[in-house]
Amino acid sequence: MSYLHQFVFGIYPYIAFAIFILGSLARFEREQYTWKSDSSQVLHRGNLRLGNILFHLGIIGLFFGHLVGLLTPVAVWDALGVTHGFKQAFAMAAGGVMGGLCLSGLLILLHRRLSDPRIRAVTKPGDKVLLLWILVTLLLGLSTIFVSAQHMDGHEMVLLMTWAQHIVTFKGDAAAFIVGAHLLFKLHLFMGMTLFVIFPFTRLVHVWSGFASVTYLGRAWQLVRPR
């Protein structure tokens, strides 16, 4: 195992997470007026709604799919009687569907942002980098489906799960589990972790507000008093 592999998959995840959390807190504390999605709907609506729905539905499904799939202990799946091969096949199918939805929405949003002169004029360089970064990460993830189809025993999937679970439980041998993983998996992991690094410096911070919006369910009714 090389030093580069150990750094990228054994140390870099913690650096990315620290930047993700501390950067988000600093952004919220110092630049609250930039804490927004920077919607361009007033400039040109077009197919914004369709692209937005497809993109958000897909990326939310991918996020929670990765979260549950990677962090649920193998022993839990074994206790439920779910074989490794079946779980891999289900992950490939679900990931393909959600990835397809996300990709369709992202391409619609990219075309809209880059083809309309008014929207292109107000698009920041960071927006372009973010969208292209998500696109490459997504394409790498979808390409791993074809790699996984070549070995349906679930072995490599279990190694990826073990890596993720050892990372979140602060075990130093995490990187060793994916030394032999296919290059596409490693590139996808690196791009995904780096997405958390650039998160606090982009419009992605509005994701935090989306999670926080559930607090509205417990807020008191707004009182409107007429004159």
Q: What is the pLDDT of residues 198-215, one digit of tens each?
A: 999 988 888 888 777 777
Calculate the dihedral angle through the C-alpha atoms of 19, 74, 67, 11, rounding to the nearest 10 degrees: 10
pLDDT tens-place string over residues 36-80: 766 666 566 678 889 999 999 999 999 999 999 999 999 999 999
pLDDT band at 227 (very low <50, low <70, confident <90, very high): confident
- Check residue 17 and give its pLDDT: 97
Q: For residue 54, give the 3-state DSSP assignment.
A: helix
**222 has pLDDT over 90:** no
**Torsion-angle region of residue 153: left (phi > 0), alpha (psi -120 to 50) or beta?**
alpha
Do residues 106 and 134 make contact, with C-beta atoms less than 8 angstroms apart? Answer: yes
**pTM, whole model, 2 decimals?**
0.88
